[in-house]
Amino acid sequence: MAPRILIADDEEGIRESLTLILENDYTLEYAVDGEATLAELSSGDYDVALVDVKMPRMDGLEVLKRFKAMNIDTPVLILTAYQSVELAKEAVSLGAKDYLPKPFERKQILDAVKSVLKSAV
Amino acid sequence: MLQTINPYSVVPFLTSFLSLSLGVLVCLKWKLSREHQLFSWLCFALFLWPFSLSVFLNLTDPRQILEWAKYGHVTCTLAPALYVDFTITYLKKENMRWASNVYYVIAALTLLTLLTTDLYFPGDLMSYPWGFYAAPGPLVYLDFALGTMACLLCYREFIIAWRTQRTVLSANEYNKLRYIIIALTAFSFAMFDYLPKFNLPVPPIGSYFIGIFGVTTAYAMIKHQILDIEIVLRRTAIYSVLVALLTAIYLGLVLLGEKLFQGFFGYDSIVMSLVVGVAIALGFTPLRDFVQRYMDRFFFKGTQAALAEENEMLRQELVRSEKLKAVSTFAAGMAHEIKNPLAAIKTFAEFLPEKYDDPQFRTKFSRIMNDEVNRMNGIVHRLLEFSKPGRPDLEQVQISKILNETIEFLQGRFIERKVQIKTQVMGDDWVNADKQQMKQVFLNILLNSIDSINDGGKIEVRLSDHGQELSISIADSGSGIPRQEVNHVFDPFYTTKSNGTGLGLSVVESIMRNHKGRVLISSTTGQGTTVELILPKAIQLEMAMTEEGVVHGTKNLNR
């Protein structure tokens, strides 16, 4: 069975782009805001989650914080258009496995997902 | 009487007066910062030594000489601690705070010993051609060593700061640092005055260095506004001193002339005195003008016009810098917004060759490309709007929407600075406003709030309906603004931030005024600041404008 990935981004363009990159190898689900992301991750069984930083209702970092507090161990990859070292550090300190800047490369996304899945095994 | 004054005591007396004046001048800005407080204390400490020197060089009674030597030595016990504290505070070297604490403890102990025992000056006198000195006890050597160490330590820190910061400092900060280094270096050389105490026949030249310290500081205050001494105060102060000095000379000349003519003619003539007075006054005016012109050239680089020109250049530089800051914030927000559509366009373009034959992909491609290009076009349009100056382009808008857009725009900053933001909207929030200008208002206020929060804090935004008016209150948990400064925050170029230019709130105030609204600000140091924006609600604005005149109102509403 293909690993399940949650794509959490409020931008349709980004969700569609990630779908193009990942749809062949993985089962994909979507969330369009922070609260929906949290709900999906706490109820569904995901192998990895790609979470955007800037989302309505709850930003990606807040999702990470809540996620950590709830002791859920789904690996999270943070996506963002902000190029800030502080933000990257903050995301990693909150438990994110990696930090992927936008605009991303197809290979970059595939490699990051593979590497997270590999380390989870 | 003049013959009895020791000429060696004149310079110390003048420098003590200069230090005292500087201390008082900086003291007027006491509440601005700890930096100001310490500098003013340092000036007061530097007043004591040259003053006591100017006194005891004129004394012959051993008891009195010892007494004044003690008073003068207070400078030697206090100045090193104040110098170290000032350096640490000015350069924000909090990791070295221990050093000033150690110096303060030593200063307290030595001061107590100095004033209550004879360990500093056991009672012997030393004679030099320029006067008598109290012979030092062993503790004077200790103070000398501590003073030298303090000077070296502070000098080292200032030189490191100079080397590392000079390329990144603003012109104002750069000049400030440069003059403070020159002034404090000169002040360190005041240690020369220890030499006669150690049996070395060196005349009291330390006071000259304190004089250089004073003159450099005074010059930098006048020329470069170091320690925030305002130009009006400085110019007035200088002219007051000048007028007082010249009036004293004038009166002296009149009295001298009167005496001379009385002796010459042998009778007491009011008419003659008046003639002398008028004659001197006539010659005196060109002299005063000459001195004033010289003062202007020396201190203010030319005439009033040159000064105005210099101020204008400075103002333009600040305006440019404020614009750059606003543009850089805007550019950061724009970069974020552009990267999202770019990411989508990039990925779809990358898949185009391999998925070209897939009709479903082609449909999606066409839709996504169109949406993202439109979005980027919108961003460019907004950039153009942002750069367009002018009167408000009023339209009926929901203010909470503009506010939320601005908050979203600053999301990256909030996350970076760990700032939590909460918004609460109560009631109707429709107003007649210029969308872009209101965004600018929120942006400036929120940026100030973010800057005032050091690491983690919150901002609460509340929109409330007050019948005819709408209130938007933005409260932060930042460092706050001292009470005496709150009244100045809307003044152009007034800033409490080291890298601020002081135009942000002035722009806010001007935009709000153009919207027939107002801004209120309240702040408590250490607790935070609340900015309240009051705008007439849509219908009220129309009425207010109609009352002012149909033409004006219509023009504004229809633009």
pLDDT digits (tens, 9 = 90+) for A60-76: 888 888 888 888 888 99
**Domain interval for residue B271:** 240-302
Count of domains forming chain B: 4
Specify if A74 maps to a domain. yes
Out of B343, B355, B361, closest to residue A14 by CB = B343
Specify if A116 maps to a domain. no
- Window 81-110 of A, Cβ < 8 Å to B: 81-84, 86-87, 90, 101-104, 106
pLDDT of amino acid B200: 85
Out of B337, B344, B350, closest to residue A16 by CB = B344
pLDDT of amino acid B284: 62
Average pLDDT over residues A9-24: 92
**Domain interval for residue A67:** 35-52+59-81+96-102
Q: Are residues B78 and B161 in the same domain?
A: yes
Chain B residue with minimal CA distance to A16? B344
Q: Residue B537 carries which DSSP code?
A: B
pLDDT confidence bin for A47, thresholds 50/70/90: very high
Does A57 contact chain B (CB < 8 Å)? no
With a cut of 50, list the residues of chain B below it in pLDDT: 1-3, 231-233, 267, 302-303, 389, 498-499, 501, 541-559
Q: Are residues B70 and B192 in the same domain?
A: yes
Q: Are residues B495 and B363 in the same domain?
A: no
pLDDT of amino acid B552: 36
Cβ-based burial of B253 (10 A; exposed 0-12, middle 13-18, buried ≥19): middle
Specify if A44 maps to a domain. yes
Q: Are residues B164 and B247 in the same domain?
A: no
Out of A14, A87, A101, closest to residue B415 by CB = A87
Residue B465: what are its φ and ψ, rounded to 5°?
-90, 115
Specify if A20 maps to a domain. no
pLDDT of amino acid B168: 67
Chain B residue with minimal CA distance to A81? B336
Out of B351, B371, B372, closest to residue A20 by CB = B351
Specify if B284 maps to a domain. yes
Please report the ipTM that was assigned to this predicted complex: 0.87
Out of B347, B355, B411, closest to residue A59 by CB = B411
Residues of B in contact with A106 (CB under 8 A): 347, 350-351
In 3D, which of B475, B408, B402 has the Cα closest to residue B433?
B402
Q: Are residues B343 and B281 in the same domain?
A: no
Q: Residue A104 carries which DSSP code?
A: P
Chain A residue with minimal CA distance to B409? A54
Please answer yes or no on whether A103 and B346 come within 8 Å at the CB atom: yes
Specify if B328 maps to a domain. yes
The pTM score is 0.41
pLDDT of amino acid B233: 47
What is the full DSSP assignment across B252-312? Answer: HHHHHHHHHHHHHHSS--HHHHHHHHHHHHHHHHHHHHHHHHHHHHHHHSSSHHHHHHHHH
pLDDT of amino acid B558: 32
Chain B residue with minimal CA distance to A18? B347
pLDDT of A15 higher than 60: yes
Specify if B119 maps to a domain. yes
Does B348 contact chain A (CB < 8 Å)? yes
Chain B residue with minimal CA distance to A88? B416
Domain final residue pick, B302, B330, B355: B302
Please answer yes or no on whether A82 and B336 come within 8 Å at the CB atom: yes
- The C-alpha of B182 sits at a distance from chain A's nearest C-alpha, in angstroms, of 38
Q: Are residues B420 and B532 in the same domain?
A: yes
Q: Are residues B289 and B346 in the same domain?
A: no
Specify if B5 maps to a domain. no
Chain B residue with minimal CA distance to A83? B336
Specify if A120 maps to a domain. no
Q: Are residues B554 and B462 in the same domain?
A: yes
In 3D, which of B54, B6, B85 has the Cα closest to residue B193?
B54
- The C-alpha of B463 sits at a distance from chain A's nearest C-alpha, in angstroms, of 19
Residues of B in contact with A13 (CB under 8 A): 340-341, 343-345, 368, 371-372
Specify if B420 maps to a domain. yes
pLDDT of A44 higher than 50: yes
Q: What CATH number should be reported for the domain holding residue B402?
A: 3.30.565.10
pLDDT of amino acid A51: 92
pLDDT of amino acid A9: 92
Specify if B511 maps to a domain. yes
Contacts of B336 (CB under 8 A, 6+ apart): A54, A81, A82, B412
Please answer yes or no on whether A54 and B351 come within 8 Å at the CB atom: no
Strands B131-134 and B125-128: antiparallel
Specify if B368 maps to a domain. yes
pLDDT in tens, B271-281: 666 666 666 66
- The C-alpha of A16 sits at a distance from chain B's nearest C-alpha, in angstroms, of 8
Counting one residue from chain A and one from chain B, the pairs whose CB atoms sit within 8 A come to 78
Does B346 contact chain A (CB < 8 Å)? yes
In 3D, which of B440, B425, B493, B433 has the Cα closest to residue B333?
B440
Chain A residue with minimal CA distance to B346? A103
Q: Are residues B160 and B58 in the same domain?
A: yes
Strands A4-8 and B528-536: unpaired
Ranges A47-61, A82-96, B225-239: which has the least confidence: B225-239
Count of domains forming chain A: 1
Packed helices B304-355 and B359-387: angle between N→C axes, nearest 10 degrees:
180
Specify if B307 maps to a domain. no
Residues of A in contact with B406 (CB under 8 A): none
Out of A53, A90, A104, closest to residue B343 by CB = A104
| Spatial distance between the Cα atoms of A28 and A46, rounded to a whole number of angstroms | 9
Out of B347, B411, B416, closest to residue A17 by CB = B347
pLDDT confidence bin for A50, thresholds 50/70/90: very high
Q: Are residues B138 and B281 in the same domain?
A: no
Out of B342, B408, B418, closest to residue A103 by CB = B342
| Spatial distance between the Cα atoms of B238 and B218, rounded to a whole number of angstroms | 10
Q: Are residues B188 and B44 in the same domain?
A: yes
Q: Is the peptide bond before A103 cis (omega within 30 degrees of 0)?
A: yes
Q: Are residues B250 and B217 in the same domain?
A: no
| Spatial distance between the Cα atoms of B431 and B394, rounded to a whole number of angstroms | 9
Find which of B329, B339, B405, B420 to mutate to test the A interface (most A CBs within 10 Å of its CB): B339
Specify if A6 maps to a domain. no
pLDDT in tens, B478-515: 888 877 677 777 765 555 654 454 567 877 887 888 88
Find which of A10, A20, A24 to mutate to test the B interface (most B CBs within 10 Å of its CB): A20
CB of B16 closer than 8 Å to CB of B51: yes
Q: What CATH number should be reported for the domain holding residue B34?
A: 1.20.1070.10
